[in-house]
Amino acid sequence: MDLRRGRQRAGKMGNGKSLSDQKTGSRFLPEEQAEVDRLFDALSSSEGGVAKGTFSLEALKSHVKEALPPAMVTRLYHGMGRVKPPGRTHGSFRSISREQFTAFLSQLLRGGCEEKGLMVMNMISAAEGPIKIRDVQKDLVASVIHVLTHRHELRGWIWRKSTVPPDSLQAMVAQLLSEMKFQDGHQFLGPQSLDQICDQAMIEEWVFHVPQVGVFLSVVIHRGLGLLASSFDLSTLVPECHVDQGGRFESILDVLSVIYLNAHLAAEHRHRWRLLFSTQLHGQSFSQLCSHITSQGPSLVVLEDRDGYVFGGFASCSWEVKPQFQGDNKCFLFSIAPRMATYSHTGYNNHFMYLNYGQQTMPNGLGMGGQHHYFGLWVAADFGKGHSKAKPACTTYNSPQLSAQEDFLFDKMEVWGLGNLLEEYEGKNKKSILDSNPDARSLLEISGRVRHSEGLREVPEDED
C-alpha cells in the first residue's frame, strides 16, 4: 500500500506539475460551499483598499479576533495566497480571491494527504527556498489549545490545568515530529534534527502517517475561523470530563496530554472519561483504589512520581481482584512527561494486567507488563511505592523505564473510566473486593484479621 502510494506520488512530482497548478475545485457539499461563500463574502466586504471580490490579511485578522494567535492567522493567509488560481503562474499575497480561499479550505479539510501536505507546505513557507524541520513545528499545537480555551470547549477540563505548560507543548511537538521520516530513511531524533531540510514528499508522508496533524488543522479552521463548526465532532478530540465530587479538581493530566491519550483509544472510549479514583480525593489507600476501579470497564491508570515523571497504562478490560494476569492485547503502557509515547503489545507474553490484594503467596498490588516482581509498571499494595523495570525493555510492551527511578515513590495517582459504564458492570461494582474475591476473604479470616469495612459498607439488594 505504502509502496504504491510512493510510486503515485513520485509520478505526480516527476511530471513537474504541482497540485496547485491543477484545476482548483471544491470538494464541499452544496450546503457547506454556501457557508464557505458566506464567510468569503463577509471577509471581502469588510474593508476597502483591496481588489473587488478579495480580502486582505487585516480583514482575516479582524474576523478571527482573539480566537487564534496572530502568527497562525498569518500562516493561514499565506497558505491561501500561495494557491495558484487557474490561468496564473503564481498566487497573490496582496489579497485572497474566492478561488484561492475555496481551494485552500477544500484541500486542507477534504483533500488527501498529497493535497493536505501541499497546503501545509504553503503555510510554513515563509519565503521561497528550502524548509527546515523547525519551520514545521511552529504554532499548530499551541493554536489548538488556544482556540479551544478561547471558545470554552475544553469539555470540563477547564477546571484542571487549562493552561498547558511549555514542556507539555514541546513533548507533543516532539512526538508528532518523531513520526517524520527523511529521504534517507532515518527519523527525527530531537533538537539535533531541527535544521534538517524537508520537502513536500516528506510532509505528505507525515500527514498520511500522523492523522492527528489533519485533526489539529481541522480544529484551527472549524473553531478558529468559525467555519463548518457543526461538521467537526469535538468529542473525538477532547473527551467530556466527569468528576462526581463537586468543587475544584486538578488532574495530573493537562488538556494536551488528555488529547494525546484520547487519540490512542478506540472510538467508543473517546467521548467521556469518568474519574474513578484519585489520591487527591480518596487518599493514599490501596483498598480504596481497588474498591473504586474494579468492575468499571476499560480505564486509564496515571501516576506522577516524585521526580515529576508522568506515566501509566491503558487497561482494555475491567479490573478484577484475582491472583492471575488478565486483560488482552489492546492494553498499552504510555509516558506523558518528560516525553509522550505509547508502547503496545509485543506478543511475547499475555501479562497485560494484574490486580491482587490480601494474599500471602502472590504479589499484592497493581501491575501491567513484564512478570511478577519485574513489572513494566507496578503499584505496590503498600501504597505510595512502585517500580518500572525494563532492562532493556518490558517484555510485554517493549516499553523503557517509565519512571525517573526504577523503584519510585509517588503521591499522585488517578484512574479514569472510559466511555459509558456498560450494564454488565453496573451490578458488579456495588460489591466490595472481598465480596468479588472469596479467596481474599478466606485468607483474611484465617489470619484472624478483622474486616474493618464490614459494618461500614452498604449491602447490595441481591445479597442475603
Same domain, 409 and 316: yes
Same domain, 59 and 174: yes
pLDDT > 90? residue 305: yes
* pLDDT band at residue 452 under the 50/70/90 scheme: very low
- Which of 426, 441, 459 terminates a domain? The answer is 426
pTM for this prediction: 0.84
Q: What is the DSSP-derived secondary structure letter of residue 331?
A: -
Q: Determine, yes or no, domain membership for 456.
A: no
pLDDT > 90? residue 223: yes
Rounded (10°) angle between helices 113-124 and 200-209: 120
Same domain, 19 and 120: yes
Same domain, 151 and 265: no
- State percent of the chain over pLDDT 70: 80
- Mean model confidence pLDDT for the chain: 83
Q: Which residues lie closer than 8 Å to 227 by C-beta, 6 or more apart?
A: 35, 36, 39, 105, 221
pLDDT > 90? residue 458: no
- Beta-bridge partners for 379: 366, 386
Q: How many Å apart are CA 281 and CA 385, to the nearest integer?
A: 19
* pLDDT band at residue 12 under the 50/70/90 scheme: very low
pLDDT of residue 8: 44
DSSP string, 228-267: SGGGS-GGGTSPEEE-SS-S----SSBHHHHHHHHTTS-G
pLDDT of residue 11: 39
Reply yes or no: is the peptide bond before residue 400 cis, omega within 30 of 0: no
Q: What is the DSSP-derived secondary structure letter of residue 82?
A: T
In the chain, % helix, strand, coil (3-state, to 5) comes to 40, 20, 40
φ, ψ at 96 (rounded to 5°)? -105, 130
pLDDT of residue 90: 57
Question: Do 262 and 144 form a contact (C-beta atoms < 8 A)?
Answer: no
pLDDT > 90? residue 446: no
Same domain, 272 and 319: yes
Same domain, 121 and 73: yes
Q: Determine, yes or no, domain membership for 464.
A: no
Q: What's 169's domain CATH number?
A: 1.10.238.10
Q: Determine, yes or no, domain membership for 450.
A: no
Same domain, 271 and 151: no
Report which of residues 419 and 433 the model is more confident about: 419
Q: What is the pLDDT of residues 149-160, one digit of tens each?
A: 999 999 988 655
Q: What is the pLDDT of residues 258-301, one digit of tens each?
A: 999 999 999 999 999 999 999 999 999 999 999 999 999 999 99
pLDDT > 60? residue 216: yes
Q: What is the pLDDT of residues 16-64, one digit of tens each?
A: 334 344 445 688 999 999 999 999 999 998 765 577 889 999 999 999 9
Q: Which domain holds residue 287?
A: 253-426
Q: Determine, yes or no, domain membership for 396.
A: yes
Q: Determine, yes or no, domain membership for 441.
A: no
Same domain, 128 and 218: yes
Q: How many Å apart are CA 273 and CA 419, to the nearest integer?
A: 6
Q: Determine, yes or no, domain membership for 122.
A: yes
Q: Which helix (H) or strand (E) holds 315?
A: strand 310-315
How many domains does the chain contain in total?
2
Q: How many Å apart are CA 47 and CA 60, to the nearest integer?
A: 11
Same domain, 46 and 148: yes
pLDDT > 50? residue 346: yes
pLDDT of residue 41: 94
Q: Determine, yes or no, domain membership for 14.
A: yes
pLDDT of residue 428: 54
Q: Which residues lie closer than 8 Å to 79 by C-beta, 6 or more apart?
A: 104, 108, 119, 120, 122, 123
Same domain, 307 and 406: yes
φ, ψ at 152 (rounded to 5°)? 55, 50
Q: What is the pLDDT of residues 72-129, one digit of tens each?
A: 999 999 999 999 876 555 555 689 999 999 999 999 999 998 999 999 988 887 556 6
Q: Determine, yes or no, domain membership for 437.
A: no
- Beta-bridge partners for 278: 414
φ, ψ at 302 (rounded to 5°)? -130, 135
Same domain, 27 and 163: yes
Same domain, 191 and 279: no
